[in-house]
């Protein structure tokens, strides 16, 4: 098979008209020819860090959607399902991913559970990490979120890093806001990347240390605008990633959108494509083709080097997407699930005010931020009814709960701002990192209804209104994914997302994705786990009340 067009040679930084000969899934010959074409042939895009589970799709369904936008491979961290099901979950992802020609490259999760301050469904210790890393199909140690463990020489943390280094496998970083001497020590431990930079200054400091900076633009965390100026100065150290991508966003685009935005910002085309295609392959040693003789025939074809609308996507010489349509079939998959929570009562969500301090009682409130995983913390007057602290929709201070899905325990309770629900509740079992049930509501009854919708479906996302309307998207695979067709899931997700924004009046761009990170303890400042309110800067639990009296 021979394909002709304008070939973008990223290694020699040139574009020329030529022919590519493909045999048995590999490029056997590239010849420069005389001729003209509207089509450009370039290496496929590689998402340098993504949790496939956050798309709510099993890998084979994620692949069907991603190839439409020119993505041929992902560096996939199965951390989410690992926190639910341990090594069994990692193996599930690998098995399903193998049923697609798409190139999934999984890592060994380094932090399961992510912290000792929450309840997860499994533990992956250094022995299990070693077992995974000895598998030739596991290419790296996934993001080391326990940066305090690195800085304070935690034996188990250092053992995991040491195993990866002995096997010559990269170690991914996760160090939001870590700078100065702490950053130097963290990366000196052998950690080579970071996808958590959220300011230019932070990214610049880490890039100067030689760290590979992954510019993240997902459904909730959006750091592209802040970090893209780094590309011109450090073209060999920049990669693009989505980290977490919801299905409705995946319908619209993937890394092709970042390439188009970078070009519009004035970035040089070949530097953009180096970040989107070459740097991940070279850093992780991926068996992904880069348009060279002898390489696997992984490439994309476009007539549009401005918006990067993809005409064709090829993987190992197979045409997998054309003109906006996926050519990959769905794959049969038997769901697996670890979900034992039982229905709750409205009274489970009551917050009793301390008897001795009810006048001018102050509560700590989490402030969610649009487009960020970090939060803020502030004190606000408590709204009391019959001796209980309740949601205050007028001031957008709503009750927030995390319910343990793995064993019976009282719900943990706190308050949160910036969701702006007016009369309703939302809930989700996609709750990083342990995937307990997260819910926010304007009153306890609606909060309980939303939680019970998740429990009744053994996982999913749900919303209820004060008028009695209910919406739910079941996620029967580990409580965080579904086996349904990705495009169908995207429509269902868009419908429930619209319901939350239009009927419940939520003002966030991605309410469910933002909710999912409100239990992510390793990202400051204030978060909630099933065990309590947690200060991510001090790395310790804090009280809900600004008083010495226990609730």
Using the predicted structure, report yes or no on whether residue 523 has a pLDDT greater than 90. Answer: no
pLDDT digit string (tens) for 240-273?
A: 999 999 899 999 999 999 999 999 999 999 999 9
Helices (H), 147-273: 147-151, 155-166, 180-188, 200-208, 224-227, 230-233, 247-252, 255-264, 269-273
Mean pLDDT, residues 525-542: 94
Return the pLDDT at 549.
Answer: 40
pLDDT at residue 358, as a whole number: 62
24-67 confidence digits (pLDDT tens): 999 999 999 999 999 999 999 999 999 999 999 999 999 999 99
Reference 57, options 539, 482, 541, 490; nearest CA is 482
- pTM (global) more than 0.85: yes
pLDDT of 550 above 50: no
Mean of all residue pLDDT scores within the chain? 95
60: part of which helix (H) or strand (E)? helix 59-66
338 band by pLDDT with thresholds 50, 70 and 90? confident
How large a percentage of the chain has pLDDT more than 90?
A: 91
CATH superfamily of 44-287: Metal-dependent hydrolases (3.20.20.140)
pLDDT surpasses 60 at 72: yes
Q: Domain boundaries in the chain?
A: 44-287, 346-541
DSSP state string for 268-312:
-HHHHHIIIIIHHHHHHT-----S-TTSB--EEEES-TTT--EEE
Closest CA relative to residue 313, chosen from 12, 65, 97, 104:
65
Bridge partners (DSSP) listed for residue 214: 239
Residue 548 has pLDDT above 50, yes or no: no
pLDDT surpassing 90 at residue 311: yes
pLDDT at 422 over 90: yes
State percent of the chain over pLDDT 70.
99
- Compute the distance between CA of residue 266 and CA of residue 232 in angstroms, rounded to an integer: 10
In angstroms, the CA 306 to CA 316 distance is 26
C-alpha 545/C-alpha 551 separation (Å) is: 7
Does the pLDDT of residue 356 top 70, yes or no? no
pLDDT tens-digit readout, 442-453: 999 999 999 999
pLDDT in tens, 287-303: 999 999 999 999 999 99
Task: Note the pLDDT of residue 551.
Answer: 40
Q: Is the pLDDT of residue 357 over 90?
A: no
Angle at 254 between CA 454 and CA 176, to 5 degrees: 70
């Amino acid at each position: 098979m021979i394909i002709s067009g304008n070939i973008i040679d990223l290694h020699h930084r040139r574009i020329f008209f030529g022919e590519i000969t493909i045999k048995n899934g590999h490029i056997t010959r590239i010849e420069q020819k005389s001729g003209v074409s509207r089509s450009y042939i370039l290496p496929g895009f590689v998402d340098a860090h993504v949790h496939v589970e956050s798309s709510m799709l099993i890998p084979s369904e994620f692949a069907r959607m991603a190839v439409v936008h020119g993505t041929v491979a992902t560096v996939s961290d199965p951390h989410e399902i690992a926190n639910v099901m341990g090594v069994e979950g990692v193996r599930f992802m690998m098995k399903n991913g193998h049923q697609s020609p798409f190139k999934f490259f999984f890592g060994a999760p380094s932090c399961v559970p992510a912290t000792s301050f929450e309840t997860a469904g499994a533990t992956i210790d250094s022995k299990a990490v070693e077992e995974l890393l000895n598998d030739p199909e596991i290419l790296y140690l996934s993001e080391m979120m326990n940066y305090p463990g690195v800085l304070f020489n935690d034996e188990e943390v250092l053992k995991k890093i040491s195993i990866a280094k002995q096997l010559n496998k990269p170690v991914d970083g996760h160090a939001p806001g870590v700078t100065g001497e702490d950053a130097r020590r963290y990366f000196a431990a052998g950690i080579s990347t970071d996808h958590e930079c959220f300011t230019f200054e932070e990214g610049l400091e880490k890039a100067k240390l030689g760290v590979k900076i992954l510019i993240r633009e997902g459904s909730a965390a959006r750091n592209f605008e802040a970090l893209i100026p780094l590309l011109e100065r450090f073209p060999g150290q920049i990669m693009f990633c989505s980290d977490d991508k919801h299905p409705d966003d995946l319908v619209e685009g993937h890394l092709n959108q970042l390439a188009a935005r970078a070009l519009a910002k004035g970035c040089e085309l070949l530097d953009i494509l180096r970040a989107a295609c070459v740097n991940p392959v070279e850093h992780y040693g991926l068996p992904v083709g880069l348009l060279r003789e002898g390489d696997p025939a992984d490439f994309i074809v476009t007539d549009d080097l401005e918006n990067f609308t993809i005409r064709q996507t090829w993987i190992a010489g197979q045409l997998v997407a054309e003109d906006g349509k996926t050519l990959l079939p769905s794959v049969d998959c038997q769901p697996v699930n670890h979900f034992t929570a039982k229905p709750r009562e409205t009274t489970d969500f009551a917050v009793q005010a301390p008897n001795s301090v009810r006048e001018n009682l102050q509560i700590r409130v989490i402030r969610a931020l649009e487009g960020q995983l970090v939060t803020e913390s502030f004190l606000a007057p408590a709204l009391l009814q019959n001796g209980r602290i309740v949601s205050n929709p007028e001031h957008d201070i709503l009750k927030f709960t995390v319910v343990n899905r793995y064993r019976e325990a009282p719900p943990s309770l706190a308050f949160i701002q910036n969701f702006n629900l007016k009369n309703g509740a939302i809930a989700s079992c996609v709750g990083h990192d342990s995937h307990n049930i997260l819910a926010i509501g304007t009153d306890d009854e609606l909060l309980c209804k939303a939680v019970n919708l998740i429990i009744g479906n053994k996982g999913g996302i749900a919303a209820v209104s004060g008028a009695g309307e209910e919406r739910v998207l079941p996620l029967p695979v580990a409580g965080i994914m579904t086996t349904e067709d990705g495009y169908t899931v995207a429509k269902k997700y868009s419908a429930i997302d619209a319901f939350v924004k239009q009927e419940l009046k939520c003002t966030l761009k991605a309410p469910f994705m933002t909710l999912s990170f409100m239990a992510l303890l390793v990202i400051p400042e204030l978060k909630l786990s099933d065990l309590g309110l947690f200060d991510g800067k001090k790395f310790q639990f804090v009280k809900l009340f600004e008083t010495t009296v226990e609730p």
